[in-house]
Amino acid sequence: MMTTQKNKIIAITGPTATGKTEFAIKLASELDTEIISADSRLVYKGFDIASAKPTIGEMRGIKHHLIDIVEPEVDYSVANFYDDAKVVIDGLLKKGKTPIVVGGTGLYFRILLEDFDLPRVKPDFSLRAELDKKDAKALHDMLMKLDEKSAQKIHFNNKVKIIRALEVCIKTGKPMSEVAGKKEHEFDVKWIGLNYKDRKKLYKRIEDRVDEMLEKGLVDETKGLLKKHGRINNFINTIGYKEMLEYIDGITGLDEAVDELKKNSRRYAKRQISWFKRNQNIEWIEK
């Protein structure tokens, strides 16, 4: 498929706490266009403070898509994101607008704007429930036998990803690493990455943001979500909530929980940087 000016897209990415949302909003205002969020936690209703979800005021009248679209109980997959984002992008392109995709979830960008194609295997919830009875190590060992290549890329404690890979193997009879393939580029993408030249400045910004989250009421938000939804996976595995839950449960003190949140956020930023640095098309703006 040939790309033309008609399918021009701007992608803004980079590690957490680098000002991507603010940058995208300013650009969208200048270009008279709309924003598509590429963040795996912003899709969930109620995940506000921990995900640094932009407020109505912060959006400055710019329409944002794929924010607050599903309840936390929903297993919103990468394939769901691709389908939903494509609908929005196609609609904007037909209006002659340049869509802006912004966020930090690397796999979302890869499936939507790069040449990676995910296997289209529908969820088998009975199979997932059966697999979930096993511990993470047993599942990882099983995946090593069925799809060693995928197993080497997935952390042995990440049950969700391990179960998905096993599901694909079992349903297709092939390793997920073989089922997932390449696709043609659909869009002409202008890639922009935001980061700090000095890693210490990034980490300081992350720590300041965590402090801001506490001031805004992260503990109360966590308690509210716990009361409303219980200990569902999407909630307890989200950075910000999982650390506050340890404090709420009396496992740690608040200071210790906050320190753990800062540490986990720094680690997440480091993983994001490693992921996006592999994309040679990104033009980096370093502060």
Distance (Å, whole) CA 226 – CA 234: 11
Which residues, at least 6 apart from 229, have a Cβ–Cβ distance to it below 8 Å?
Answer: 46, 71, 72, 73, 235
Give the pLDDT score at 1: 36
Give the pLDDT score at 4: 41
Both structure tokens of 185: 């580029």
Which residues, at least 6 apart from 221, have a Cβ–Cβ distance to it below 8 Å?
Answer: 46, 48, 49, 50
Summarised one tens digit per residue, pLDDT across range 226-256 is 999 999 999 999 999 999 999 999 999 999 9
Could you say which architecture CATH assigns to the domain 5-118+183-195+274-286?
3-Layer(aba) Sandwich (3.40)
Give the pLDDT score at 118: 63
For residue 217, give the amino acid letter: G
The domain ranges of the chain are 5-118+183-195+274-286, 125-179, 200-272
3-state secondary structure of 75: coil
Only one residue has tokens 């190590």, namely 137
**Which pLDDT band, with edges at 50, 70 and 90, does 153 fall under?**
confident
**Domain 200-272 fold:** Helix Hairpins (1.10.287)
Q: Is the pLDDT of residue 206 over 50?
A: yes
**Domain 125-179 fold:** Histone, subunit A (1.10.20)
Summarised one tens digit per residue, pLDDT across range 89-123 is 999 999 999 999 999 999 999 989 986 666 667 77
CA distances in angstroms from 176 to 116, 167, 173, listed in the order given: 13, 9, 9
Distance (Å, whole) CA 101 – CA 111: 13
**Which pLDDT band, with edges at 50, 70 and 90, does 181 fall under?**
low
Please give the mean pLDDT across all residues of the chain: 92
